Chains A and B, each alone.
Chain A
Amino acid sequence: MIAHDAAIAAEPASDITTRQDHAVAPALSIETVSHAYGSRRALSEVSFTVAPASFTALLGLNGAGKSTLFSLITRLFGIQSGRIRIIGHDIGATPGEALRLMGVVFQPRTLDLDLSLMQNLLYHAALHGIARREATARGRALLERIGLADRALSKVRDLSGGQMRRLEIARALLHRPRLLLLDEPTVGLDVKARADIISHVRQLVTEQGISVLWATHLFDEITSSDDVVVLHQGCVLAGGQVARVIAEAGAQDINSAFMRLTAGTTKPRSSEA
Chain B
Amino acid sequence: MSSTTIDSRRRGFSLSEYATCLTGIVWREGLRFLHQRERFVSALVRPLVWLFIFAVGFRQVLGIYIIPPYETYILYEVYIAPGLMAMIQLFNGMQSSLSMVYDREMGNMRTLLVSPLPRWYLLFCKLLAGTAVSLLQVYAFLLIAWLWDIAPPPIGYLTVLPALVLSGLMLGSLGMLISSGIKQLENFAGVMNFVIFPMFFASSALYPLWRVQEGSPMLYYLCQANPFTHAVELIRFALYGHVNWISLAVVGSCTIAFMIGAIYAYDPSRGLARRMPPGGET
In the bound complex, how far is the Cα of B281 from the Cα of A64, in angstroms? 9
- Judged by a CB distance under 8 angstroms, whether B276 is at the interface is yes
A101-B9, A123-B24, A123-B28 in contact; A51/B3 too (CB < 8 A)?
yes
A127 touches B282 (CB 8 A): no
Give min CB distance, A248 to chain B, whole Å: 15
- Judged by a CB distance under 8 angstroms, whether A99 is at the interface is yes
**CB-CB < 8 A to B68: which residues of A?**
none
A127 touches B273 (CB 8 A): no
Give min CB distance, A214 to chain B, whole Å: 15
In the bound complex, how far is the Cα of B206 from the Cα of A232, in angstroms? 60
B7 touches A101 (CB 8 A): yes
- Judged by a CB distance under 8 angstroms, whether A115 is at the interface is yes
The one of B27, B35, B276 that contacts A126, using a Cβ cutoff of 8 Å: B27
A78 touches B267 (CB 8 A): yes
B111 nearest CB neighbor, chain A only: A110
A233 nearest CB neighbor, chain B only: B282
In the bound complex, how far is the Cα of B23 from the Cα of A132, in angstroms? 10
**CB-CB < 8 A to B25: which residues of A?**
123, 126-127
A115 touches B111 (CB 8 A): no
In the bound complex, how far is the Cα of B8 from the Cα of A101, in angstroms? 10
Chain B 13-30 near chain A by CB (<8 Å), digits 1 or 0: 110111011011101100
- Judged by a CB distance under 8 angstroms, whether A22 is at the interface is yes
A127 touches B5 (CB 8 A): no
**CB-CB < 8 A to B27: which residues of A?**
123, 126
B113 nearest CB neighbor, chain A only: A76
A22 touches B35 (CB 8 A): no
**CB-CB < 8 A to B28: which residues of A?**
112, 115, 119, 123, 126
Give min CB distance, B218 to chain A, whole Å: 40
B25 nearest CB neighbor, chain A only: A126
Give min CB distance, A4 to chain B, whole Å: 14
- Judged by a CB distance under 8 angstroms, whether A240 is at the interface is yes
**CB-CB < 8 A to B154: which residues of A?**
none
In the bound complex, how far is the Cα of B156 from the Cα of A111, in angstroms? 41
**CB-CB < 8 A to A79: which residues of B?**
269
A129 touches B18 (CB 8 A): yes
**CB-CB < 8 A to B274: which residues of A?**
77-78
Give min CB distance, A193 to chain B, whole Å: 19
Give min CB distance, A128 to chain B, whole Å: 6
**CB-CB < 8 A to B111: which residues of A?**
110, 123-124, 127
- Judged by a CB distance under 8 angstroms, whether A130 is at the interface is yes
Chain A 61-89 near chain B by CB (<8 Å), digits 1 or 0: 01111011011001111110000000110
In the bound complex, how far is the Cα of B26 from the Cα of A122, in angstroms? 12
In the bound complex, how far is the Cα of B282 from the Cα of A49, in angstroms? 20
From B114-122, B168-176, B252-260, the one touching the partner chain is: B114-122
State which residues 1-49 of B face A: CB under 8 Å: 1-14, 16-18, 20-21, 23-25, 27-28, 31-32, 35
- Judged by a CB distance under 8 angstroms, whether A192 is at the interface is no
State which residues 205-219 of B face A: CB under 8 Å: none
A132 touches B20 (CB 8 A): yes
Closest 4 CB pairs of A and B: A126-B24, A78-B269, A129-B17, A52-B4
Name 28 interchain pairs, CB-CB below 8 A, sorted by A: A21-B5, A24-B4, A24-B5, A25-B3, A26-B3, A26-B4, A50-B1, A54-B1, A63-B281, A67-B277, A67-B281, A68-B282, A70-B278, A75-B268, A76-B113, A77-B268, A77-B274, A96-B11, A97-B11, A101-B9, A106-B107, A110-B110, A127-B24, A129-B13, A129-B17, A129-B18, A130-B20, A131-B16
